[in-house]
Amino acid sequence: MAGPQRKSVNKRKIVPVKTVRIDNVDYKDTATLRKFISERGKIRARRVTGLSVQDQRKVAIAVKNARELALLPYTTSAR
């Protein structure tokens, strides 16, 4: 027998890029880029951040550029 049915509630996600009011993502803006990085240093997924495909690509490229220039860490210490 199936368990009780759950109602799915459609929540509208707030797009972080639109709330910050930035038109383009800049690799030098580490404060904004840290919102899209987990505690372990991984880039957060689209379903977590609520970004569009194009915005997620821009953020990913900006994070990778910032890592290359040592503005952001590749990983954090596990301890």
What pLDDT is stored for residue 72 in this prediction?
93
DSSP letter assigned to residue 36: G
Nearest of 49, 47, 43 to residue 15 by alpha carbon? 49
What pLDDT is stored for residue 51 in this prediction?
87
- pLDDT tens-digit readout, 57-72: 999 999 999 999 999 9
Nearest of 48, 55, 53 to residue 22 by alpha carbon? 55
Instruction: Give the span between the Cα atoms of 19 and 6, in whole angstroms.
Output: 31
Of residues 70 and 11, more confidently modeled: 70
Instruction: Give the span between the Cα atoms of 24 and 33, in whole angstroms.
Output: 12
Domain 16-68 has CATH 3.40.50.150: no
- pLDDT tens-digit readout, 16-51: 655 555 568 899 999 999 999 999 999 999 989 888
